[in-house]
Every structure is written in C-alpha cells, then in structure tokens.
Amino acid sequence: MFLTDTDLQSILLTLRLASVVTLILFLVGTPVAWWLARTRSRWKGPIGAVVALPLVLPPSVLGFYLLVTMGPNGPVGQLTQALGIGLLPFTFWGLVVASVFYSFPFMVQPVQNAFEAVGERPLEVAATLRASPLDAFFSVALPLALPGFLTAGILTFAHTVGEFGVVLMIGGNIPGVTRVASVQIYDHVEAMEYSDAHRLAAVMLIFSFLVLLALYLWRPNPKNT
C-alpha cells in the first residue's frame, strides 16, 4: 500500500464521519425540508436563511462559536456535562455535531427543491384515495422526491469529506479520533513532508472527482428532478 497507516486511518475516519453525518442529516434535514417546502408561515424566510447560513459563514466563525458554546463555560458544554457526556470538542461526536451544522444546507436545499417539485397535486390525489398525511408522505412524496434525496446525500457526504476549517478549530488533531484526511494533509505540508502530502492529496482529488462525476452522469439533465 502506498499510503502509510496513519494516512489510511485518517481516510477511514473521514469516511466514518461523513457516513454518520449523512445518516443523521437524512433524519434531521428531511422534516425541515418538508416544512420549508410546504409551509405558508411567515417564518419560512427567516428559517430558510438560517439553514443557508453555513454556505456563507467562514468556517472560522462556526468553529469559534462551537468551541466557545461547547466548552465548559458554554451553554452546550454545561448541558453535555450535566448529562454526563462530558465535553464535545476534541471528540468524534463533537466533529459530528459540527459537521451536521456545517453540511445542513447541503441536505436541506436539494430535498426541499425535490419536495417543491412534487407539488400539491399528487398529495391531494392520495388524500382523495383516503391516504393519511403520513401515508401520503411515505408512499407518494418520498418516492417522487427520491432523486433529490440521492443528490442531497451525495452532496452532504462529499461536503463533509471536504471539511477542514471547523475540524481544525475544534478537533485537536487526535489520531483516529479527530485527525481527518484534510487535517492530515495540512499536517504533512506543515511538517514539510511534501511527498506524503502529495499522495494523500491525490487520493482526495480523485475521490472528489469521482463523486461529482457520478452525480453529474447520473443526473445529466437538471429538469428531470
């Protein structure tokens, strides 16, 4: 194998992080996307803006807030300590929480678009066939919006793999726990181990390209969503 053990470890950790985050965001993001797609509430605008914030905010802002709020004197830190979980920074689950925030719009927005594209009509038809709203959601809206879910899942996964700034700020660079591939590359560069950096960087480049290639090949025409 041309990668070292620690490189491999960082890649596996990255994949594990991205998988967990994608899974959680499917569960958390779907209801939010559904609400945003169907609501007529005046809160739609503000909530939509909050969801999109991580697209605009520098990772340093998110990292700074997370470090302070999840620290022993922050509200989240005091809650986690009271619950006996301890502190989240420098732990795998701390990275998961950070990444869930950071990748939130990448899940919600494609799913929301897909739900909007489904429209009212199929759900009304389902209702006339005596489907309950829950039934209509699972047997009509969800299957129709499936392409949107796939796009969202791939984007969320890939975006989490590509995360760097937030992880650097709250991760503490612990091998096997918080040292993901992007941080490992940064470490190699800082330590002037350029050949190691090249190898791992190439792996990341090829991976990212393949993911995006799959996304674009599989959905050549955006109108089909």
Residues near another protein, by CB under 8 A: 67-68, 70-73, 86-87, 89-90, 168-170, 172-174, 186-187, 189-192
Give least dist CB 80 to another protein, A: 12
Query: What b/e string do you get for 153-171 counting C-beta neighbours within 10 Å, with b at 16 or more?
Result: bbbbbbbbbbbeebbbbbb
State whether the Cα torsion 190-195-197-198 is positive or negative.
positive
Nearer to another protein, 89 or 153 (CB): 89
Give least dist CB 61 to another protein, A: 15
Q: Would you tell me how many other CB atoms lie within 10 Å of the CB of residue 107?
A: 30
Residues with Cβ within 8 Å of residue 202, at least 6 apart in sequence? none
Query: 131-140 — which CB contacts under 8 Å span 24+ positions?
Result: 137/34
Give least dist CB 28 to another protein, A: 25
Nearer to another protein, 73 or 221 (CB): 73
Rounded to whole angstroms, the Cα distance separating 63 from 98 reads 8
Nearer to another protein, 114 or 170 (CB): 170
Nearer to another protein, 73 or 224 (CB): 73
Nearer to another protein, 30 or 178 (CB): 178
Rounded to whole angstroms, the Cα distance separating 67 from 64 reads 5
Give least dist CB 187 to another protein, A: 7
Give least dist CB 26 to another protein, A: 30
Q: Taking the CA atoms of the chain, what radius of gyration do you get in angstroms?
A: 20
